[in-house]
């Protein structure tokens, strides 16, 4: 095999690997009766980088519906965010719960699969 051919084979393998998307995970926000609304909004702003308006909207959605999707991330990102919320909630003595689950069906991810919660107002 010439050097030129070897180069072609390597290029094809690299392109195939680059096309593989990592498994994605949904991060879910759960309602409870004790965590102050303001604390939830601050967590959504600082850990998940949502705007104040979006954070308030999602907090109210979860308050009224029990659970909502904050976002969809690769496992290591989702795991880190869940751990950050757990640490902040524990420190503040609130029972706020955020969990992750495999995003098995991307078409369930809300309008257009944009990673936002399936609540009102998630369409731009
Ligand atoms: N239900 C809480 C209250 O009335 C507010 C709240 C909203 C808590 C969303 C958690 O994920 C949550 N203080």
The whole-number average pLDDT for the span 14-43 is: 90
Q: How far is the CA of 76 from the centre of ligand 1 (A)?
A: 26
Q: Which mutation among 47, 50, 57, 63 tests ligand 1's pocket best, with the greatest number of atoms within 8 A of CB?
A: 63
Residue range of the domain that includes 79: 22-113
Instruction: Indicate which CATH number applies to the domain containing 83.
Output: 3.30.1390.10
What pLDDT score was predicted for residue 107? 54
**Residues 50-108: pLDDT tens digits?**
999 999 999 999 999 999 999 999 999 999 999 999 999 999 999 999 999 999 865 54
Q: Are 67 and 30 in contact (CB under 8 A)?
A: yes
**Helix ranges, 1-124 (H):** 3-19, 37-48, 52-65, 75-92
| 17 within some domain | no
Pocket test for ligand 1, best of 28, 29, 31 (most atoms within 8 A of CB): 31
pLDDT confidence of residue 120: 45
Q: Residue 90: inside a domain, yes or no?
A: yes
In a domain, 2, yes or no: no
Q: Is the CB of 27 under 6 A from ligand 1?
A: no
d(CA 122, CA 124): 6
Say if strands 24-30 and 67-74 run parallel, antiparallel, or are unpaired.
antiparallel
Token digits of residue 10: 């390597």
Give mean pLDDT, residues 94-123.
65
Strand partners, 69: 28
Is there a domain that residue 30 lies in?
A: yes
């Amino acid at each position: 095999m010439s050097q030129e051919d070897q180069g072609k084979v390597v290029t094809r393998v690299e392109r195939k690997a680059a096309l593989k998307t990592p498994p994605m995970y949904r991060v879910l926000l759960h309602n409870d009766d004790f965590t102050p609304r303001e604390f939830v909004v601050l967590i959504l702003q600082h850990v998940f980088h949502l705007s104040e308006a979006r954070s308030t909207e999602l907090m109210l959605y979860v308050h009224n519906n029990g659970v909502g999707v904050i976002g969809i991330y690769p496992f290591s990102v989702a795991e880190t965010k869940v751990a950050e919320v757990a640490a902040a909630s524990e420190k503040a003595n609130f029972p706020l719960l955020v969990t992750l689950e495999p995003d098995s069906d991307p078409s369930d991810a809300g309008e257009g699969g944009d990673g936002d919660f399936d609540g009102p107002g998630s369409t731009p």
